[in-house]
Structure 1
Amino acid sequence: MPAKIIQLKSNEEIITCFPLMQQLRPQLDQAQFLDLVTEAIKVDRYHLFALLSKENIVSVIGFKPMTTLYYGRFIWVCDLVTHVDYRSKGYGEKLLNFTESWAKDHQYTSIALSSGMQRTDAHRFYQQKMHYGKVSYVFKKDI
């Protein structure tokens, strides 16, 4: 059975990907995760998609359409994670390709994301496999 991509919209659907998302966002508990995702959907037009293989969620992507003076109309990938047992099988690539198609279908011209400094395997994936270029540093200050 081929992999399929579905959008997660309801609270029940969103919760199904929490165990996987926790591999990327271990600081969140289930209630925080659900609160943040539902707020992001309402406020920021966040979209959450899961890739299923044999009816199991093996990879998840969350993104939001944005418009800025620097990028114009673009998609910001907030979250992308593939289950540790399923990495290097093309699932992240399928979700990014799906997101590129979604962006084109909705008249967005590019995709951007940030990746933690320590995620060297992810950086190699974005640059070598998916042909993303480094265009800036992301700076953060907690307040």
Structure 2
Amino acid sequence: MEIKELKTKTELLSAFPVMKQLRTHLDESSYLALVKEAAEKDSYRLFALLEEGKITAVTGFKPMITLYYGRFVWICDLVTAEDSRSRGYGEKLLTFVQEWAQAHGYESTALSSGLQREAAHRFYENKMAYQKASYVFKKDL
């Protein structure tokens, strides 16, 4: 098992089939454009967990500073391939992000999760000891 940062176009595209399971609204070209822009403008980083050379889970995150959270890492994306779930891959990636954040001087990690993703909520709260801190509101413009 290996966790690897994805940087090249080929590496980023190799993660798309797994990411698509979470971000179903994206096609390959919009995914690639958004990842590149987020990396350039917002310090977004994308990592994959590989099992025997195959990407089984991915996470994207970005370091941030706000008055509410202080210095923290926002976990934008975390998904395990459907055929690889319940094997501890999400836990390994989330632990990796937490360790990365701590090693780089950040005080916490945070994420949002869709209201319908009840199994994910149980995972975050019961397995990974995350607490509900707020509601996230969105308005399309």
Q: Distance in 2 between matches of 1:40 and 1:105?
A: 22
CA displacement at 1:10 relative to structure 2: 1.0
Letter in structure 2 aligned against 1:135 = A
Task: Name the counterpart of 1:46.
Answer: 44
Task: Name the counterpart of 1:136.
Answer: 134
- Across the aligned residues of Structure 1 and Structure 2, the Cα RMSD in angstroms comes to 0.4
- What TM-score results when the alignment is normalised by the length of structure 1? 0.98
Q: Distance in 2 between matches of 1:84 and 1:75?
A: 25
**Is the partner of 2:56 in helix, strand or coil?**
strand
Task: Name the counterpart of 1:18.
Answer: 16
Q: Distance in 2 between matches of 1:28 and 1:104?
A: 31
Task: Name the counterpart of 1:85.
Answer: 83
Task: Name the counterpart of 2:6.
Answer: 8
**Is the partner of 1:48 in helix, strand or coil?**
strand
Task: Name the counterpart of 1:75.
Answer: 73
Q: Distance in 2 between matches of 1:109 and 1:87?
A: 29
CA displacement at 1:12 relative to structure 2: 1.1
Q: 1:56 aligns with which of 54, 57, 65?
A: 54
Percent same amino acid among aligned pairs?
59
Q: Distance in 1 between matches of 2:66 and 2:9?
A: 30
Aligned residues: 141
- What TM-score results when the alignment is normalised by the length of structure 2? 0.99
